[in-house]
């Protein structure tokens, strides 16, 4: 699908899909949204609650790799923390498109760190940085089975407006099964229907303040 570069309100860029009028991140701020939803309420919340020595993260929708980059940058400030990061992606973003994004510049980090996440092999667990392993899988979420392997899930599919099939019970059942005991799933959506599905499956659901431009998240 055709993608266009979009400048979001916090100065970071994202990719826009004209056909669906949908973005990879919030127009109000790509980095701001990812930091709020996935890092603050996901990664940091889980770390502060459990103080683990290893966190295994499953990302549903690896896309531009922004969440992986922010997770690495956050984790490296915590001594003795190992991260095993698995990213699922059915439609990998081309490296030429990745190169147009300004995340490294906005975060004031060496661009090779970001590029490394994208040039690493698929289907193979790779040590990308010290204490940060990455396994990217080029599959549809629907095909994934990973029983009880993960502490934390970043559910970052395109919204229910454009991909309603990904916000239904079978997907949340798969994700529930993929979590270890006390595991946490975070997502930017706060739709009532999504909340009810999650509760039905067995998640304890909390509505939290969303990032700028969004009242709530789950």
The residues of the shown chain that bind ligand SAM, judged by CB under 6 A, are 24, 61, 63-64, 66-67, 88-91, 140-141, 156-158, 163, 166
CA distance 1 to 18: 9
- Looking up tokens 């039905």 gives 200
Per the listing, tokens 């590029």 go with 115
Nearer to ligand SAM, 88 or 217 (CB): 88
Do the beta carbons of residue 160 and residue 191 sit within 8 Å? Answer: yes
Closest CA to 57 of 185, 210, 167: 185
Nearer to ligand SAM, 166 or 184 (CB): 166
215 burial class (0-12, 13-18, 19+ CB within 10 angstroms)?
exposed
Instruction: State the nearest-atom distance from the C-beta of 156 to ligand SAM, in Å.
Output: 4
For the bound state, the minimum distance from the C-beta of residue 41 to ligand SAM, rounded and expressed in Å, comes to 15
Indicate the residue whose CB is closest to ligand SAM: 63
20, 115, 138 from 96: Cα distances, Å? 21, 11, 18
Shortest Å, Cβ 79 to ligand SAM: 26
- Least distance to ligand SAM, CB of residue 187, Å: 10
3-state SS, residue 82:
strand
| Rounded least distance, CB 35 to ligand SAM, Å | 11
- The least CB distance from residue 38 to ligand SAM, in Å, is 8
Smaller CB separation from ligand SAM, 166 or 175: 166
Q: How far apart are alpha carbons 175 and 48 in whole angstroms? A: 22
Which of 5/90 has CB closer to ligand SAM? Answer: 90
Closest CA to 150 of 180, 184, 110: 180
Of the two residues 140 and 161, which places its CB atom closer to ligand SAM in the complex? 140
69: nearest Cα among 59, 55, 80, 81:
59
| β-pair partners for 129 | 132
Nearer to ligand SAM, 171 or 197 (CB): 171
């Amino acid at each position: 699908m055709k993608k266009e570069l979009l400048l979001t309100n916090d100065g970071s860029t994202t990719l826009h899909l004209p056909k669906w009028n949908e973005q990879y991140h919030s127009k109000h701020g790509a980095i701001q949204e990812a930091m709020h939803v996935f890092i603050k309420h996901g990664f940091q919340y889980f770390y502060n609650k459990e103080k683990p020595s290893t966190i295994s993260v499953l990302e549903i929708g690896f896309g531009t790799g922004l969440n992986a980059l922010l997770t690495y940058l956050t984790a490296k400030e915590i001594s003795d923390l190992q991260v095993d990061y698995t990213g699922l992606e059915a439609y990998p973003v081309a490296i030429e498109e990745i190169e147009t994004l300004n995340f490294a510049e906005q975060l004031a980090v060496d661009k090779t760190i970001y590029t490394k996440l994208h040039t690493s092999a698929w289907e193979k667990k790779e040590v990308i940085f010290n204490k940060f392993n990455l396994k990217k899988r080029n599959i549809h979420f629907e095909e994934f089975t990973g029983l009880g392997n993960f502490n934390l899930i970043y559910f970052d599919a395109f919204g229910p407006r454009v991909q309603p099939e990904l916000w239904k019970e079978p997907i949340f059942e798969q994700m529930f099964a993929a979590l270890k005991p006390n595991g946490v799933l975070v997502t930017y959506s706060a739709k009532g229907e999504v909340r009810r599905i999650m509760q039905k499956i067995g998640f304890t659901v909390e509505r939290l303040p969303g990032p700028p431009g969004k009242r709530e998240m789950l």
